[in-house]
Amino acid sequence: MTTVTDYDFLYKILLIGDVRVGKTSFLTKYVKNTINRNQAPTLGVEYQTQNIVLQDGTIIKAQMWDTSGSEKYKSITTAHYRKSVGALLFYDLTDKTSFQNAADWLREIHDHTEEGIVIMLIGNKYDLVLEDPSARKVSTEEATNFVKKYHLLYMETSAKTGYNVKEAFETLVETVYEEQQKNQQGNSMEYARQIKLKKDGGQNKTEDVSQKGGCCN
Ligand code: GDP
């Protein structure tokens, strides 16, 4: 029996960060283009899916996991982190504590996911900063230093107005895809190199390649 899929790759993406920073609103805005006002906090984990067509025509099915920022649900949520290829790490631009906690969330991501996950830091509620610049409690410089230190992507967004919501999400997905392409290319180059070695110098040499860190004349 054959199964027909409407996508090329399935990406699991985590939305993570303190409670009330806007994760659910962001996801709702992205998927339905509406903001949920005064909604109840997310209990445990929920996910939504959306197909994204990349510039080269590749279709990514993004499975977006909205995790609860509450300690109470941590054990439920961390079990769902596995196999995530990307994460949106949220803080609220008007709430310094949510930014300070981002470092803990980052550790949490790295502790429960595989190496190579692409992470974007999101400074949300940008509309409040636009309305009143003194509402900003985290400077762009502070955020930039953080992302440089931990090699993250960064965007400031508003789940309320939709500012940068689509851009943030799709930049993350594009970056995951590019990274995977690069890795795949690296792997096939390595494979081709090993085949060449095999032809040139017999089987034993190919086994040595990985052991000796790739040096091989
Ligand atoms: P979560 O707990 O991280 O999922 O946060 P929610 O999405 O439930 O949002 C918490 C509160 O912040 C809700 O009252 C939202 O309406 C509000 N909110 C979320 N994003 C924004 C935003 O970008 N701007 C403003 N002004 N309010 C927001």
Interval 170-179: pLDDT, tens: 999 999 999 9
Closest residue by CA, ligand 1 atom 9: 22
Looking at residue 49, what is its pLDDT?
87
Closest CA to 132 of 161, 188, 102, 94: 94
| pTM of the shown model | 0.81
Dist. CA 36–CA 171, nearest whole Å: 24
> 16, 19, 20, 27: which to mutate for ligand 1, most atoms within 8 A of CB?
20
Nearest CA to ligand 1 atom 11: 20
Task: Give the CB-side neighbour count of residue 37, counting CA atoms within 13 A.
Answer: 1
Instruction: Give the CB-side neighbour count of residue 55, counting CA atoms within 13 A.
Output: 7
The predicted structure's pLDDT at residue 82: 81
7 phi and psi angles, rounded to 5 deg: -150, 160
Give the model confidence (pLDDT) of 91-129 as tens digits: 999 999 999 999 999 998 998 888 899 999 999 999 999
CA of 172 to the centre of ligand 1 (A): 21
Sign of CA dihedral 139, 174, 34, 38: negative
List of the chain residues with pLDDT < 50 = 2, 34, 204-217
Residue 159 CA, closest ligand 1 atom number:
23
Instruction: Spell out which residues line ligand 1, taking CB within 6 angstroms.
Output: 19-25, 35, 37-39, 41-42, 69, 124-125, 127-128, 158-160
Rounded to whole angstroms, how far apart are CA atoms 164 and 122? 10
Closest-CA residue, ligand 1 atom 10, reads 20
Atom of ligand 1 nearest to the CA of 126: 23
Sequence-separated (6 or more) residues with CB below 8 Å from residue 173: 11, 13, 52, 54, 60, 62, 86
H or E segment and range at residue 15: strand 9-17
Q: Which domains does the chain have, with CATH numbers?
A: 9-179 (3.40.50.300)
Give the β-pairing of 118-124 and 153-156: parallel
Query: Buried (b) or exposed (e) across 55-79, using 16+ Cβ within 10 A?
Result: eeeeebbbbbbbbbbeeebeeebbe
H or E element that contains 118: strand 118-124
